[in-house]
Amino acid sequence: MVSDASGSQPTSVEGLRERLPARSEVQEGLDMERNASEKVKALNAEAAGEDKDSGEQRTYGRTPDGTVFTVPHTEDMVSQLFDPTQPKNASDVAIVTVLLYLCGLLYFLPTRLRIPTFAVIFLFWRLCYNGGIGWLLHVQSNHKRLTLWAKRSDIFEKPDSGRNPYPFVYKLLKQEMRTKIPNDYDFETAPLEYNTWLLFRRVVDLILMCDFTSYCLFAIACGGRPVDEKLPMTIARWVCGIALVLFNLWVKLDAHRVVKDFAWYWGDFFYLIDQDLTFDGVFELAPHPMYSVGYAGYYGISLMAASYKVLFISIVAHAAQLIFLAVVESPHIEKTYNAPPPPAKRADISGISTPPQYQSKLLSSLSPNSPPTTSPSSTPSPVHNLVGLQNVDFFRITDVSVALLQFYMYGIAFLTPATFAWQSLFVVNAVAWRLWYSIGIGFILDRQSNKKRWTRHFVKYGESTEEAWRQWKGIYHLSMITCYTSFVCATWKMYHLPADWTYGMTTLRHVIGVAAIALQIWTVTSIYESLGEFGWFFGDFFYPDSTVSRLTYDGIYRFLNNPERTIGLAGVWGAAILTWSKAIFFLALMSHILTLCFIQFVERPHMQKLYRQSLRKTSGVSKSLKRSLPPPLQKWTGSVDRVLDETLDFVEEYIDAARPKLAAGFSSFVRDSMTLFKQYPARVTITRLAPDLAGFNPKDYSLEIDMSTPGLQLEAASASGREGEDGQVPQQRTDSFQRSTVEYGAPIRVKWTAPLNHSKKDWIGLYMVADNATREATKVSSQGRWIATNRNSFDIATADAGILMTDVLVAASHRQDGESQDFLSGIMEFSGDKLWWTSNVFEFRYHHANKHNVMAISLPFEIKISRFDEDSFDFSTSNIQSAIETEILPVVQNCFDRSPDLAPRSPSDLFGPTLEREGKYAKRVVYAIQRMFGVEFAPEVVAADGSVRNLAWRICEARRVLAPYSMSRSKGGGTPEEK
């Protein structure tokens, strides 16, 4: 029982095994956010209908706390700085002054100092852009730190209130904002998040303008005409450069037309606008157009400057922008706009359901969250994928074969001389593997599409459809990897390191070649992310009626119907440009032709037969290009398309009639999928200043674990049977102390006491006992497992998560230690990511003033996973599944952070899509199962089973299979568990 600071009646905490909380503060916050979102969306839809004919449209937004407000209209960066009709303020004058200073610096600097000086200046502003702005946005996205800074500094509070220590800053900001936004804006009543965003965008204006200006000045400093360059080449250079700059300008303007200032200045990091946007124009041309094709102007300027220095610094800038996208923007977009809906809960079903009838008990499983079926599997197993380094498993014959073949081929390629004979051998080897990979694999797929020949072969020998699918995946994966390995080896043999990098276009060839290879790697990764394992291996050829067989027009397929036709083979052409070899050019041309034939004669007929009218005829890029053409050209392109379609249809009919039908196959290419797992644990800097401890006595601090919390208990030590004779005698104690144990994943409540003058930046962390060698100071990072003693004391949003009571005054009369001073106390709860998800002995440490000086340490406790008592059950009986369900349900609920929206309430509840997005939940569950039952599962198995009931059935089946190796004493000795 606990009571809050207001003196309300104690509140009892229900046990986890009885029920989960019906509603929580988090759930109420989600409901409030959902209601505000619906209200904003309705207001924006209404405003769009009313203001369709007017020049301006009123827009509504909402803050994280649910406040709905009118979002005023703001001008773009260039207009507000350089448009004379727009009002100007002091920040505009400051920005323009800095830009003029940079221009003057270029004029007055000596010629020999211009290039290095402006290279350093540009890199500084680029670091401010991608590093500085990126860090600010990162902490705002994860911890709301910018809005917390604004709130705690009180810079937006009225000076009359007496809380604003900077009245001059308040007046300056008010004048700045009101000058810029004369309509629909009141500085005093606008939400704090919106005012913070306005202040942030002024910083962005300065950095972005200085970044681009310094880049242009660097290009001017490096610009010139190469010696002996012919006039036609000069004209071509400038024409292409100007065209790229104009294209870049159109991309930026069209992107701003769609996303407006709100997204241009990362407004959704501060507040949200719920409305239906049409992402047309440039957003149908390329993914993230402002960061991808939006940098074409940099390469256009490099062309006009005719300088490799400008080209390389452009590549550095573009790479930094893509890293900014991957590290900062993409995680925020995924978290804000692509969060999975909470799983639908259904009533618990009494009794034990029929166990799921898998085709292969332990090696296959259902598709995620699908019900069990007794018919032959209509969906392939989603567990134990093949593609990607993270899925390599040397217990699998396919992976062993791939590794051995690569070792063999790369070893011979690197150790043999680059003579004509060896070069010819590797080129012929690459040709042979390409022919097999294209024609051979294509023939198999064609026969599978028309006659189910591959599947029929395995059914004839009593195998299942899923066995045919697994064997097909293995042969396709092996063929693909070996095909590209042979191509890389041939390229290596034909490549020679340049003796003179300045000769001709040697450097440019290498830049273009490496860029083309990088483009193919990105394309392949994007294809796999869109199609998944099922589509990657042409799953609809084997499971045409599966629910997984569906058309995909998201990801890269939003822009291209068949990426393999064009940029999907950019890497082989990049290798040809790198080597400048006729043999590699021949290989690249052959690969491209075979790929086009495969798409035309294998993929396209199957897709038309399976999906019919659902096929999209025009890609996003094609629509964008056609819209940009004049009407006469649009009609002409339409006529050309019809002629091409009729010609291809004729060729297909001719080949069908001629027999045998040609088959060519080529799907995709190198597949080292780059998976970005990002984790941003809160960190506390380890700094210790002994003078800060003056006046503080550690005896005035204390930490106590609340043992009344469900999942915590006291127990005596028990013998394991492995001790000597004396060690098995029950321990004799001289006190009443008992060991504290905590169930795996159970929340832990901690009570703390501190003197009245304790620092508001005190904090409590959770550590393994063995991680610290001293009791006076902590010398290891908390890795996010800490909670502040006082709210709003840290600029990290998660610091306050878990505070239940804080700074409750306790009179000296209630003290039991004989002291005569009043003290403060509080209660906090460690749960979820603030716990350790492993078995060990831990302790809590009370730290002083945002440092690592320890003032108090709790008694140690053990996080424990109880072993399932299998001696009481027979795994061959039917009641065992019910017992396992009862045993693992509370553990699974703990692993899901006991969230009402995520944790299952009954064995039949489905886990939902959050499990696939947040892989930590599945890893927690399989660890607990291994400790409880001695069975090791892959995390993917949890997502595939989809419920506690299916998981319990799988545990039963695994235990039956492993019965000869049981560790149970009653069943005899066996094979030790693998650690």
Cα 650 to chain centroid distance, Å, stands at 46
Q: Is residue 369 over pLDDT 90?
A: no
Q: What is the pLDDT of residue 338?
A: 76
Q: How far is CA 594 from CA 654, 663, 713, in A?
A: 19, 10, 68
**Three-state DSSP class for residue 858:** coil
Q: Is residue 243 over pLDDT 70?
A: yes
750-772 confidence digits (pLDDT tens): 999 999 889 899 999 999 999 98
Q: Closest by alpha carbon to 790, among 850, 873, 727?
A: 850
C-alpha triplet 502, 416, 578: angle, nearest 5°: 30
Q: Which residue has the higher pLDDT, 452 or 625?
A: 452
Question: Residue 744: how many CB atoms within 10 A of its CB?
Answer: 23
What global pTM score does this model have?
0.74
Q: What is the mean pLDDT of residues 783-801?
A: 88
User: 711 falls in which pLDDT band (50, 70, 90)?
Assistant: confident
Q: Would you say 217 and 118 are in contact if contact means Cβ atoms under 8 Å apart? A: yes
CB-side exposure of 493: number of CA atoms within 13 Å? 30
Q: What is the pLDDT of residue 644?
A: 56
Q: What is the mean pLDDT of residues 794-809?
A: 88
Cα 160 to chain centroid distance, Å, stands at 46
Q: Output the average pLDDT for the chain.
A: 80
Q: Per DSSP, what are the bridge partners of residue 61? A: 69
User: 490 falls in which pLDDT band (50, 70, 90)?
Assistant: very high
Q: How far is CA 603 from CA 450, 455, 654, in A?
A: 12, 18, 18
Q: Which residue has the tokens 């607990």?
A: 928
Highest mean pLDDT among 328-342, 382-396, 438-452, 658-672: 438-452
User: 957 falls in which pLDDT band (50, 70, 90)?
Assistant: confident
Q: Is residue 676 over pLDDT 50?
A: no
CB-side exposure of 425: number of CA atoms within 13 Å? 10
Q: What is the pLDDT of residue 667?
A: 39
Q: What is the pLDDT of residue 735?
A: 73
Torsion sign across C-alpha atoms 721, 727, 732, 734: negative
d(CA 573, CA 492): 14
Percentage above 70 pLDDT, the chain: 78
Question: Residue 513: how many CB atoms within 10 A of its CB?
Answer: 22
Q: How far is CA 301 from CA 77, 221, 235, 238, 304, in A?
A: 21, 12, 14, 9, 5
503-553 confidence digits (pLDDT tens): 878 888 999 999 999 999 999 998 998 888 888 999 888 888 765 556 667
Q: Is residue 879 over pLDDT 90?
A: no
Q: Would you say 853 and 734 are in contact if contact means Cβ atoms under 8 Å apart? A: no
Q: Is residue 690 over pLDDT 60?
A: no
What is the total residue count of the chain? Answer: 979
d(CA 788, CA 801): 8
Q: What is the pLDDT of residue 856?
A: 93
Q: What is the pLDDT of residue 622?
A: 65
123-151 confidence digits (pLDDT tens): 999 999 999 999 999 999 988 999 999 99
d(CA 335, CA 481): 34
